Structure 1
Amino acid sequence: MMFAIFFAFWRFMQIITLIPTMGMLSYFVNGFVQLNQLTPNYVLVLFIVSVLALAWAIYTLFSYHQSSANATFISLVDLLFVGAFIGAVWALRFIAGADCTSIRRGDPYDVSLGPFGSASLTNWDSSTDKSCAMLKASFAFGIMNCVFFFVTSVVACLHRDRSAASDRGTYYRETHHHRHGHRSSRAPSRHSSHSHRRVYV
């Protein structure tokens, strides 16, 4: 039960962060395709990893019974996605130090306060570079998914160990019960043969 709760929660977190990542990066891929230019590696790598990770997260979430039965395979694939996201984030690392928002001081203006005089105020203008902000958000979501997929990999690995221990305990109980039942089935036969034995004088 706890495996189902943790697994579903972190899968939802992965899906929630991967959908906007895929959408923002597809905007860049579409723009480069329309210009008939090659998409840069720092966009293409993270886009491909996000698409594959999103498909994997959705599949394993809605096929939970198969996922719980194949916990070892789920853990291994999630760990591979951790490495893929690390490589994709490393390719986009230059955007981490970029300043996507600039604030400029506008022209001052006076506001009349009636009998109390007037006040001089300053207008501040802010502008955000859309492309820079989208790449930076994709970079942040990539780092988050490194952590999310590592968590699901550990959860699946722990579930595998617990399932193996449970199977061993079930096998031991069934074997013990079978042996005990076999012994008890022998006892009446001996008793019955002894009770029907005739004595001649």
Structure 2
Amino acid sequence: MMFAIFFTFWRFVQIVTLIPTMGMLAYFVNGYVQLNQLTPNYILVLFIVSVLALAWSVYTLFSYHRSSSNATFVAIIDLLFVGAFIGAVWSLRMIATADCTHITRGDSWDVSFGPFGSASGTTWGVDVNKTCAMLKACFAFGIMNCIFFFITSILACLHGDRASSGDRVTYYRETHSHRHGHRSSRSPHSRHSSHSHRRVYV
């Protein structure tokens, strides 16, 4: 029960962070396609990994019963996505030190309050580079999903070990009961009863 709650929660968090990542990267890919230019690897790699990770997260979330029975396989795939996100984030590492906002100084202003005096100041403007900000957001979401997929991989691995140990206990009980029943069928009482039903001819 606890595995289901934690696993569903982290899968939902992954989907929430992967949808905007895929959308922003799709915006860049579409722009390069319209210009008949090749999409840079640092955008294309993270886009492909995000699409595959989103499809995997949605599939394992809505087919939970099948995922829980194959918990070890889910743990391995999630661990592979951790490595894929690390590689994608590494290819986009140059955006981490980029300055996406610029504060500019505007015009001065004066306000008179009559006999109460006056006030003056300067307006400031913030110029945000949209392309830089979107790539930096994708970079941050990629790092977050490295952590999220590692968490779900650990959860699935622990659930798989618990399920396999439970299967071994069940198999041991079934085998023990089967052997016990087989031995009881060969008890002396059964032999005696079989001999007592024999007919003797003189």
Matched, 1:162 2:167: no
Matched, 1:122 2:122: yes
Counterparts of 1:1-201 in structure 2 under 5 Å? Answer: 1-180=1-180, 189=189
Q: Deviations over 1:30-71 (max 9, x none)?
A: 000001100000100000010011001111111111111111
Paired residue secondary structure (1:125)? strand
Q: Deviations over 1:125-153 (max 9, x none)?
A: 11111111000000000000111111111
Aligned residues: 195
CA distance in 2, matches of 1:113, 1:74: 69
Q: Give, as a single letter, the amino acid of the residue that structure 2 aligns with 1:175.
A: T
CA distance in 2, matches of 1:133, 1:58: 27
Q: Which deviates further from its counterpart, 80-89 or 167-176?
A: 167-176
Q: Which deviates further from its counterpart, 50-59 or 162-171?
A: 162-171
Q: Give, as a single letter, the amino acid of the residue that structure 2 aligns with 1:19.
A: I
Q: Give, as a single letter, the amino acid of the residue that structure 1 aligns with 2:171.
A: Y
Q: Which deviates further from its counterpart, 111-120 or 43-52?
A: 111-120
Paired residue secondary structure (2:111)? strand
Deviation at 1:122, TM superposition (A): 1.6
Q: Deviations over 1:150-175 (max 9, x none)?
A: 11111111111101111122223333
CA distance in 2, matches of 1:189, 1:112: 115
Q: Which deviates further from its counterpart, 22-31 or 98-107?
A: 98-107
Q: Give, as a single letter, the amino acid of the residue that structure 1 aligns with 2:107.
A: D
Aligned twin of 2:200: none
Q: What runs of 5+ residues in structure 2 fail to find an aligned partner?
A: 197-202
TM-score (norm 1): 0.89
Aligned twin of 1:199: none
Q: Percent identity?
A: 76
CA RMSD of aligned residues (A): 2.1
Paired residue secondary structure (1:31)? helix
Paired residue secondary structure (1:99)? coil
Q: Deviations over 1:63-83 (max 9, x none)?
A: 111111111111111111111
CA distance in 2, matches of 1:94, 1:148: 23
